Amino acid sequence: MSRRQFAAPTRDGDGPADDTGCTVLHVDMDAFYASASLISRPELRGRPVVIGGAGGRSVVLSATYEARAFGVTSAMPMARARRLCPQAVVIEPDHHRYAVISDAIMATFASVTEQVEPLSLDEAFLDVAGAIRRLGPPTRIAEQLRDTIADEQGITCSVGVASTKFVAKLASSLAKPDGLIVVPRAETVSFLHQLPVGAIWGVGDRTEEHLHQLGLRSVADLAHTPLETLQRALGDVAGRSLHDLAWGRDPRSVVPTRREKSIGADETFAHDIDDPVRIHRELLRLADRTAARARSAGMTGRTVSIKVRFSDFTTITRAKTLRHHTDVSREIFATARELYDRLGLQRARIRLVGVRLEGLVETGAAPIQARLDEPEHGWRDADRAVDRASARFGAGSVRPASLMGGTPGRRGDGSGTPGAGTRGG
């Protein structure tokens, strides 16, 4: 594996960088969804591969670096991705696999330090100040994390090591793919000032264009512009924030584990549909997926909500709070179907439906009530048996009978990623 550090702008440094005081790590998996999908498809490694549905309305969830070389990016319409890279292999996402691997990665982080702040399934900040005495300097810890994840999960990650969160995240993005960049505290400003203004956290396309119009093209240009000038051009808050970041000032600390407030999934149909039977089947599929994700995350929820988007893009939501917390597929589906049926839609043309579980707590933190009509070994036991089968044989290996054969017209891009935002890496 490559070991890139800030010693030089080349891919390989001339020696170990000084990581004294650089206790913040940003660890980011490389093309996570694509890499995880290829674990069982090793023959596709080195080829352009796109993760997402094959339907005309689907979007790209992730892409290998070979596909990115053709301009394919996350969230791009699949139709455009196919035009840019017609030779790409398209694979449907396996969210259960992603959740399992993510849980294992987060457990690896937790074995190093309790100060872990997940940003999504595939990236997190770590503060390793308390682990240095036990595990060695930050760079060694970063290397150990990379090796462990590669050995145990079969995927690679890139790591930025710095004295602040902003610089660590920036370093990891520059280290991709499969790299490590250490930004010594004393060299933070010189590291930043060589970069374009678009590298600054919070500078999007529009802000970058505005800064270019002001003649500010590098972080050094931004840093040496008077604060008052930036505030007049960008506003008081944005102007001060960008000025501070340009000088490497970022007082934010690593905030340990942020729990998801909700878990869910939605599906955009390839063609608008009005058949209530098909919509019920899709609600069952989404409820099953939502429940599996909740169980994988070790969470239960008390509120079930649905989202319905019509052909004119009008969107409505409905929710129901249960008397107890649940992670049972059958119960989530029954509630979702009840909410949908109450809408009284008569052959309305529907573009999207979604199911979400809210009011989450850790499993065991709230009582789960057994239903009077459940057998001795109830639906929760059945769900866990399905989880075990899916872990062994792959997602979808065991499904409700009514879902066998699939649903025509599904986009199948797995757009309902749980909770926090994701990145293609």
- In the chain, the largest separation of any two C-alpha atoms, in whole Å, equals 72
CB 120 within 8 A of CB 111: no
CA–CA gap between residue 328 and residue 380 (Å, rounded):
6
Any known ligand binding at 236?
A: no
The catalytically annotated residue of 66, 92, 117, 123 is: 123
| Residue 376 CA: distances (Å) to CA of 291, 381, 387 | 21, 10, 19
Q: Cβ-count burial of 357 within 10 angstroms (0-12 exposed, 13-18 middle, 19+ buried)?
A: buried
Spatial CB neighbours of 204, under 8 Å, sequence gap ≥ 6: none
CA–CA gap between residue 34 and residue 38 (Å, rounded):
6
CA–CA gap between residue 60 and residue 404 (Å, rounded):
25
Q: Where do we find the tokens 């390839």?
A: 270
Spatial CB neighbours of 312, under 8 Å, sequence gap ≥ 6: none
Return the H-helix or E-strand segment holding 142.
Answer: helix 138-153
Helix ranges, 266-370 (H): 276-296, 329-342
Q: Where do we find the tokens 């639906």?
A: 379
CA–CA gap between residue 390 and residue 385 (Å, rounded):
9
CA–CA gap between residue 378 and residue 394 (Å, rounded):
23
Spatial CB neighbours of 219, under 8 Å, sequence gap ≥ 6: 192, 193, 194, 195, 196, 197, 199, 200, 246
Residue 228 falls in the annotated catalytic set: no
Return the H-helix or E-strand segment holding 355.
Answer: strand 350-358
Any known ligand binding at 312?
A: no
Binding residues for Mg(2+): 28, 122
Q: Enumerate the active-site residues.
A: 123
